[in-house]
Structure 1
Amino acid sequence: MKLFSSFLKELKIASRGFYFYVELFMAVLIVAIFLFAVPDNFSNKTSEYLFLDMPEQASGVYLKRVADEDIDGKVENVKIKVGEKEMKASLYTTKDKDIYLLDSREEIKYVADKERELAAVITMESNGKLAYDYYLQGYESNRFKNLLKILHVESSETLESAMNNQEVRPLTTSSSQSLSDKENMIPVVLVFNGALMGLFIIAAYIFLDRQEGVIKAYALTPSPVWHYLLSKIGVIMVTSIASSFIVLLPIMKFKPDYLLLLVLLMSTAFFSSSLGLVIASFYKDIMEAFGAIYIFMMGMIIPTIAYLIPSWNPVFIKFIPSYYMLEGFKAVVLGNNDWPYVLTLSGGFLVSGFVLFILSTSRYKRTLLG
């Protein structure tokens, strides 16, 4: 009962301060951006720059085939600015790429150098076959280079037919759901605005209490230190839950499993807040602690890169807690009732947070007044 009373008192005090509303404001801002600025799916359209080094009759046949794939069947004469140069080009727009036809090989080389885009020169050999000279950047994989070598060995119709006739076997027989590009970004938001922000904000609360003398006044009360620390964590949990629901409800509506979300949010917020307490216990003010907190948060960002770019997935990111936060929140957002996995993750964060909380309690018994 004393703990609950202490929590209510901390919640009341926190609601009068700036930090309490940081997460809530960020949640509202994120919702506005997602609803009005972020499309459901991002465009994967690429740009290609070509020069046809062949007789006019042959180039006319080639361009007719390109025009057939154009969205409106019309070529558009445009001017493109590349580096410090302005070039004339003919633009063909298909559903998955913009094809710019330039006037010389030198322009192709310049574009490849300045724009870092796919650029090629197409020539006609003596036997009437087309040859493709691609200008690469030097960092392409061997797989990509080999693909370019075989891409034009057969006609595009033959390649497409072969791809369509390939047998695809699913790795699992269970029904799977997919997320749009917008929805796929939600777990990242939940990790940082809903879970990891507590790492910074709880440290700010501690240093603010020291500065205003609240801690010295608290030391005169009979309440134990862990009551004070757990009450602070409780405030972080409330703001994390509130900000996460503000983000999810307008965007995902009732697709996620909100009960599972509540469990995972509480455990991850408890873990990150306890980690924040441990870090803050080694410093006297927020300015001294900022560097360490910043380093920890930057480290937590690394799994996000692998999440957004699946082809980059080094082994070491599996030792970073935010990797499992992302996986857990994605399972929740999918709403696929993966209770065992999410509960296992929540239990892991709860146990880890409890260990960190015991360590922080031990340290604050000695340093809280320092």
Structure 2
Amino acid sequence: MQKLWTTFVKDARLSYQGIYFYMEIGMAIMFVLVMLFAVPENFDRTQTFYALVEIEALKGELSELVVDGGDYQVELVDSRPALEQALAANRSAAGIHVRLEGQRPVLDLVLQGHESESMKALLRSTFEGAMASQLPGYVNRTTVVSLESTPARLSDRVNILPIYLVINVAFMGLFIIAAYVFLDKEEGVIKAFAVAPVQVWHYLVSKIMIMALMAVVVSTIVVISLVGFRINYPLLILVILTFNVFGSVLGLLITSFFDSMTKAMGALFFTIFVLMFGGFSYFMPWFSPAWIRLLPSYPMIFSFRELLLEQGDVAYVLRNVGLFMALSLLLFIYTNYRFKKTLTV
């Protein structure tokens, strides 16, 4: 252990004299500033509708019915040109024109042209239902059953944080540790382990410890700045360490197959590209096929999300910590074997 500590201290001094650590700090500060001053706490999701209603009896009822939903805002206009002018000024809005044709009310949707067929059908059914509800004898037989009465959610600002943490903890660590290793290869440091009394695994663990320390410092600064002290920080640090070790070991394994950063770039980029698919399911929960849920990034992202929730699923987080610890150990054993085998590469 003394040799490992000596190797770590030496590597730490060299690493923190370089530019990578300060780049990480600088990027973290920029991220915090953007999140605090450019990203609102919650985005405005209110959908605006401009309505031309020629049936006097429906004006008040239609407006009140839709506004009561909370996510809609209806503005009444007095002519078709005014409706089209309002839509031209607000390209995210939609328009409706309610008129009489004979003795029957007719609904015309006036849209921007970029709406999908499913969105058109949703808008049509929404307003047709609103009109039908005003008919004599109408009875609403629709029942709504929610699996979660009050599902927990993060603010829109904090909701971005799990993606950043996974990128910073796992993906950036994968790249930076590769850069450190290839720099040592160019300087002949790794070849020296063939005759040095220090074992190869000392060198590998030393690099992993440096990356873990960097990840804890940078990620904790960001989380405290955006969330404060309301979360379980000991568990957060454990998760950061676990996921960072996995990313670092994966980066070391990839570097063992190449002799320069240039040759390894393709494999590194491809690995990160594949892992990024976990973010799609995070922002689009309806798109979560089995192959995406098997990607390491998927449980990483959702573990950070559970940590940031006020009453998150701690058991889920701990299961993932145990899983990634086991995976990291297996990968490290094989990585150590690869480095011993390629000392002269």
TM norm structure 1: 0.77
1: CA distance, partners of 2:322 / 2:39: 34
User: Unaligned regions of 5+ residues in structure 2, if any?
Assistant: none
Q: Match for residue 40 of structure 2? A: 39
Identity %, equivalent residues = 32
Q: Match for residue 194 of structure 1? A: 169
Structure 1 pair 99/346, CA: closer, same or farther in 2 (3 Å)? same
Q: For residue 36 of structure 1, what is the amino acid of its counterpart?
A: F
1:129 aligns with 2:105: yes
Q: Match for residue 91 of structure 1? A: none
2: CA distance, partners of 1:104 / 1:327: 48
SS of 1:131's equivalent? strand
Structure 1 pair 234/38, CA: closer, same or farther in 2 (3 Å)? same
- Out of 271, 277, 297, the position equivalent to 1:302 is 277
Q: Match for residue 256 of structure 1? A: 231
Structure 1 pair 252/154, CA: closer, same or farther in 2 (3 Å)? closer
- CA deviations on 1:151-196 (whole Å, 9 max, x unpaired) are 324449769x999x95655548xx8643211111111111111232
CA RMSD between the two structures: 3.8
- Out of 129, 149, 172, the position equivalent to 2:125 is 149
1:14 aligns with 2:2: no
- Out of 286, 289, 309, the position equivalent to 1:311 is 286
How many residue pairs end up in the alignment?
A: 336
Aligned-pair CA distance for 1:344 = 1.4
1:361 aligns with 2:311: no
User: Unaligned regions of 5+ residues in structure 1, if any?
Assistant: 72-93
Aligned-pair CA distance for 1:240 = 0.7
- CA deviations on 1:271-327 (whole Å, 9 max, x unpaired) are 111111111111121111111111111111111111112232222211101100011
Q: For residue 9 of structure 2, what is the amino acid of its counterpart?
A: L
SS of 1:130's equivalent? strand
Aligned-pair CA distance for 1:253 = 0.6
2: CA distance, partners of 1:162 / 1:342: 46
- Out of 140, 145, 152, the position equivalent to 2:117 is 140
Structure 1 pair 250/153, CA: closer, same or farther in 2 (3 Å)? closer
Aligned-pair CA distance for 1:356 = 1.0
Does the 8 Å CA contact 1:257/1:337 hold for their aligned counterparts? no
Aligned-pair CA distance for 1:2 = 1.3
Structure 1 pair 312/98, CA: closer, same or farther in 2 (3 Å)? farther
Structure 1 pair 40/219, CA: closer, same or farther in 2 (3 Å)? same
Q: Match for residue 23 of structure 1? A: 24
- Out of 174, 177, 185, the position equivalent to 2:160 is 185
Structure 1 pair 158/219, CA: closer, same or farther in 2 (3 Å)? farther
Does the 8 Å CA contact 1:24/1:239 hold for their aligned counterparts? no
SS of 2:276's equivalent? helix
- CA deviations on 1:77-125 (whole Å, 9 max, x unpaired) are xxxxxxxxxxxxxxxxx974586968569x79x97xxx68745554431
Does the 8 Å CA contact 2:47/2:71 hold for their aligned counterparts? no
2: CA distance, partners of 1:162 / 1:238: 63
